[in-house]
Chains A and B, each alone.
Chain A
Amino acid sequence: MTTTAERAVGQPIGRVEGPDKVRGAARYAAEYPVGDDLAYAWVAQSPVARGTLTDVTVDPLVEADDVLAVLWHGNAPRLAEADDPELAVFQSDRISYRGQALALVVARTLEAARRAAATLQLDIEQEPHDSVLRTDHPELYTPEKVNPNFPSDTASGDVEAALAGAPVTVDVTYRTPPLHNSPMEPHATTALWADDDLVLYDSNQHPPGVAASIGGLFGLPADRVHVITEHVGGGFGSKGTARPNAVLAAMAAKVTGRPVRLALPRQALFSMVGHRTPTIQRVRLAATADGHLTAIDHDVVEQSSRLFEFAEQTAVSTRHMYAAANRRTGHRLVRLDMPTPRWMRAPGEAPGMVALECAMDELAVVLDLDPIELRVRNEPSVEPESGTPFSSRHYVECLRRGAERFGWHDRDPRPKQRREGDWWIGTGVAGATYPTMAQPSTARVRRLSGDSYEVSIAATDLGTGARTILTQIAADALEVPVSQVRMRIGDSTLPRASVAGGSSGSASWGWAVTGACRSLRESGREEATFDSSELIKQQEKDGKHAFGAHFAEVRVDAMTGEVRVSRLFGMYAAGRILNPRTARSQFLGGMIMGMGMALHEESVLDPAQGTWVNHDLAEYHIPVHADIESIEAEWLDEQDDQLNPMGSKGIGEIGIVGSPAAILNAIWHATGVRVRDLPARLDKILPHL
C-alpha cells in the first residue's frame, strides 16, 4: 500500500473542520453551553496610566440582585507568584497602564455585569505618566536578551571605520508604530470548577501552556486544569500564552461557585492582551562602489511596560540576511506606563525587515544599481555572524524567479517616471526571511475499530489549517487515506504540544505525529506515543530559515496622495509545502497584513491621556476587500532533509516580512517620496508630490 503513502501531504485538501465552521457548528470559547447557572463577567479597566487603586465602591442603586460579585485587589483571592506579571490580576494596588484590569463584576446577565462595571466607583491616586518612546529617553537600557533568547547586541569587525572609509553609505531612521494583533475572535474564557479541578474553555494558541500557567496561579498541578480550545478565530501571537481573561474567569468561577464567561470587548484587546512595540530603527550601510556591503549597523529603540520586560528581537533578522565584514546589531528598551508588548505575527522580523529592506533600496538608489542585483551581490555563503552553513537558502532564486514572474526586467529605475491619468505608478521589491524552528511535542495514535486511527496532540488550529495538515501527515505516516484518520487537537489533556507560534506548529506537531504513526505501523501495536524532545535537542538550530521575495506595484494619486496596491506578489522558498491550499492562504494573509502595516495600521498615542485612542476596527484600519487587487503567492520546490521528517519550513509569518518594505519601496519608485514613518498614509505623501 505504499502508493497510498505520500499521497496526502502536498495535496490541496480543504479544511477538515470547514463544514462545521460554515454551518456554525464549530464552537468557540464563549459559545459552550455549561449550565443554567452560567454567570457573566465584565472588566472595569483603569482610566489612568499610572497610580494606585485605593478603593472600589459599588453603586447601591445598581440592581444588587443580579450582581454576584465584584472582585478587586481588596478582596480577590491571592494567587501564587506569576512568571507573567500581567496575570497577577488584582494582586496589587499599582496601576501600570491605562486599560489595566482593576475590577471584575460577575452577574447573572451580561447586561447587568456591564452596567455595574460602568457604575463602579474607582478611587485612584493618579500619578504623572510617561508614554512616549524617544531615542533620547534617559531611561533607555540594553536588555539582557531579546525575545525569546537572543543576545541584545552583536558586533564584529569595525563598523565605524568601515562607514568612514566607504565610498557609499546610507544612514536612515525608520519608525514603525504600535500595532495591535486584532484577531477576529476576541480573547474569551468560560471557566468552571468541578470539585477542585478547573475547566477552561479558552481561546489561545497553547492549551498545555495555559493549563500550566493557570494551574500555577491557583496552586493546582497542570493536570488538574483542563483547557479546551477546539477552535480559535485567530491570535497572531496575542493568544500565545494565558491572558488575563483566563485568570479572571477562573477567579470569578471560584468565588461565585458558578461557571463564568468572560469575553473581552474589542476595545480591551487594545490594552489587555499585547501588541507590537513601536520601533525607532537606525540602519547604516556602507558599500563599495560596485555594491558590496562592507558594514551593516542596525540599532533599535523600542518599549516595554513597567510590569514586564518584553524586548522584541527587531534587528535579529539583520544578523542573517546579507554578507558584510563589519556588522553590528543592537536593541535599547525603555519601560513606559503603557501595556506590555508581546508577540505579533513575526515579532522582530516584521518591523526589522522594514528598516533593513528599505535601507537596501535606498542604497541601491545611491549606487544606481538594480535593487535585486544589490541583494544578489551580498548573498552570504554561510550564516554571516556564526559561519554555520545554511541547511537550505534559496533567496537569490526567489528574487530572480520572482522578478521573472512579476515582470521586473523592463523597469525604469528612476522614480516618478510612469503616469497614467492622475496616478503615478511604481514597483518595489524586498526580501523576506523567517527562522525555521521545531519544538518538542508528543503525539499519540490509536487504532480504532475498523480501519480508522485516532491521532491526538494538544495542538491548536488558529484558522490556519493545522488540523488538516496534521491529518495529512498522519495519513501518510500510517499509509492510509486521510478519511481513516481522526485528528484530536485543542485539549490540554492530550499529549503535550508546543505553542502555535513562531511558524513552528506544523513542524513541531507533525514531527511528533509522524513519529507516533510510524511507530504504530512498525510495531504493529494498537497504540503508540512519540516524544520528539530528544531528536530536537540534538538538532543544529543555526542556519535554518525560510526565504522569500516580495514584489509590489502601487499607484499613487497625484492629486490626493492615495496609495493603491495594484499588484502584490510573493515568491517563497519554504521547504516542502504540506498543503498548497492552506499554505497559499497563509502566505496571502501574511502579505495582506503586511499591506496593512505599510499603509493602514497604527495605534495612535495620545501622550496626555497615556493611551492609544483608536481602539476598535472602525478606527484601527486594516485592509478591506477593496484594497486587495491582484495578490499572488508562489513557491519554489525546495528540498531540505535537515529540518524535520516532513521537510517543511514554517510559513505562517514570512508573508508579513518584507511585504511592507516592498510597498514602501514601490511608493518611492512611483513618486520619489520616501516614507520612513509607517504607515504611509496620504498625508505623509501628498505634501511632497
Chain B
Amino acid sequence: MKTFTYRTATDVAHGLEPGATFLAGGTNLVDLMKLGVATPDVLVDVTRLGLDEVADLPGGGLRIGAGVRNSDLAADSRVRRDWPVLSQALLAGASGQLRNMATTAGNLLQRTRCRYFMDATMPCNKHEPGSGCPAREGDHRNLAILGASEACVATHPSDMAVALAALDAVVQISGPAGERTVPVTELHRLPGDTPERDTVLEHGELITAVDLPPLGFAARSAYRKVRDRASYAFAVGSVAAAIQVDAGAVTDVRLAFGAVAHKPWRAYTAEEALRGRPATRESFLDAADAELTAARPLRDNAFKVALTRNLVVSVLEGLS
C-alpha cells in the first residue's frame, strides 16, 4: 500500500492539490487503496464539515447533507414516508456496518465495479487508458447491457443512486470555480472512450448536498433489488419506480434501473411509453421493452434483459 498524507478539511472551499482526493466514510476508497487500485498521495477527510443534516426545503423537498450516513438517511421518517423507494434502496445496499459508515456523497461517488478493475494486476482501461478491457471476452456476467463501450463494460454498483436518479435528485457542488448543480442523472458518465472518468466532477469539486425535490406520488414508490444471495451482495439487477395511476391510466411514472450500466439508468423511454397508457401488465411490458431495445448484452449477461423486464413489471404491478 502506498504511503499517503491525511488531513482534515476545515471548510467547503478547501480545495484539493493534484494527487489528493476527498475521503468520507471510506467504505469504497479505502478498499480500493488496499487493493492498490486507488493510490492517492493525500486524503482530505471531509466528514467534519458539518454536512450531516437532512433539512426541509421550501416547497416540500429535502436537502440531504453530503455527509449524512446511509443508515441515518434510510431511517429518516420523512424519507420513509414520502420517498420510500430511497429508504428501500439504501437498506438494500451493503451491510449494517457499512451503511453506518457510508455517506450520501460517498455512496454516489463509489467507483464502478468490475473484477478486472478491482485487480491492479489486470489490464483495464480505467487503470491505464489503452491497456484494454478483458471483460468483454472474459468475465462479464454482472456487467453492463446498456450504454457500454468497447473500452469499458463496468456497472455502477450503488442502489441509492438508482433511487435518486428516479426521483430527479440534484447534486449541489462546490469547487474551485464556484458552486454549481448537476442532476443525479447527469452526475455519472457513460464510459465512451474515457472510462477512467466515472463522473462529470472536476478535480477539487466537492458534493455538499443532494436535493430531493417534492414528488407527491413518490409516496407510492419501491425499490426491488435482485442479487446472487439474500444479502450483502451487489445487485445483478434492480428497479426503482414510482407511479401515479388515475382511473386505470398511468398519469405519471419514474423508473430507473441498476446494475445495467456505467451509471444509474433512468428509463426515460419507458416512462414516456407509459404515460397515458392503461396501468396493465401489457403496458408495463411494452414500456420495459421500449427501454431495453437499446440493450447490447454480451455473451454471459443477456439474462439481465429478461430480469430487468420482469422487475419492471413486478414492481409496477406491485405499486398500481
Q: List the interface of chain A (C-beta within 8 A of B).
A: 47, 111, 114-115, 118, 267, 422, 559-562, 564, 599-600, 604, 606-609, 613-616, 618-619, 621, 623-627, 681-683, 686-687
Segment from B52-60, B100-108, B209-217, B228-236 that makes contact with A: B228-236
Q: When each residue 284-320 of chain B gets 1 if its CB lies under 8 Å from chain A and 0 otherwise, what string results?
A: 0000000000000000100100110011011000000
Is B138 located at the chain interface by the 8 A CB criterion? yes
Interface of A: prevailing SS: loop
Is B11 located at the chain interface by the 8 A CB criterion? no
Residues of B within 8 A of A683 (CB): 141, 236, 300, 303, 307
CA distance in complex: A111, B310 (Å): 48
Residues of A within 8 A of B119 (CB): 267, 613, 615
Closest chain B CB from A500 CB (angstroms) = 29
Closest chain A CB from B146 CB (angstroms) = 17
CA distance in complex: A599, B303 (Å): 17
Partner of A621, one of B36, B229, B310: B229
Residues of B within 8 A of A267 (CB): 119
Residues of B within 8 A of A625 (CB): 231
Q: When each residue 136-156 of chain B gets 1 if its CB lies under 8 Å from chain A and 0 otherwise, what string results?
A: 011101000000000000000
CA distance in complex: A561, B311 (Å): 11
Q: List the interface of chain B (C-beta within 8 A of A).
A: 1-3, 36, 115-116, 118-122, 134, 137-139, 141, 226, 228-233, 236-237, 300, 303, 306-307, 310-311, 313-314
B228→A621 contact, CB < 8 A: yes
A606→B138 contact, CB < 8 A: yes
Q: Given A47-B121, A624-B231, output 16 extra A-B contacts at Cβ < 8 Å.
A: A111-B3, A115-B1, A118-B120, A267-B119, A559-B313, A560-B311, A607-B138, A608-B134, A613-B138, A619-B118, A626-B229, A627-B231, A682-B228, A682-B303, A682-B307, A686-B310
A560→B307 contact, CB < 8 A: yes
Residue on A with the closest CB to B306?
A686
Pick 11 A–B contacts, CB within 8 A, sort by A.
Answer: A47-B121, A111-B1, A114-B1, A600-B229, A604-B139, A608-B138, A615-B119, A626-B230, A627-B231, A682-B307, A683-B236
B139→A613 contact, CB < 8 A: yes
Partner of B314, one of A559, A604, A607, A613: A559
Residues of B within 8 A of A118 (CB): 36, 120
Residue on B with the closest CB to A63?
B3
Residue on B with the closest CB to A98?
B121
Residues of A within 8 A of B3 (CB): 111, 115
Residue on B with the closest CB to A112?
B3
Closest chain A CB from B317 CB (angstroms) = 10
Partner of A687, one of B1, B303, B311: B303
CA distance in complex: A609, B115 (Å): 12
Residue on A with the closest CB to B236?
A682
Residues of B within 8 A of A114 (CB): 1
CA distance in complex: A606, B115 (Å): 11
B139→A606 contact, CB < 8 A: yes
B138→A559 contact, CB < 8 A: no
Residue on A with the closest CB to B120?
A118
Residues of B within 8 A of A564 (CB): 230
A627→B229 contact, CB < 8 A: yes
B306→A626 contact, CB < 8 A: no
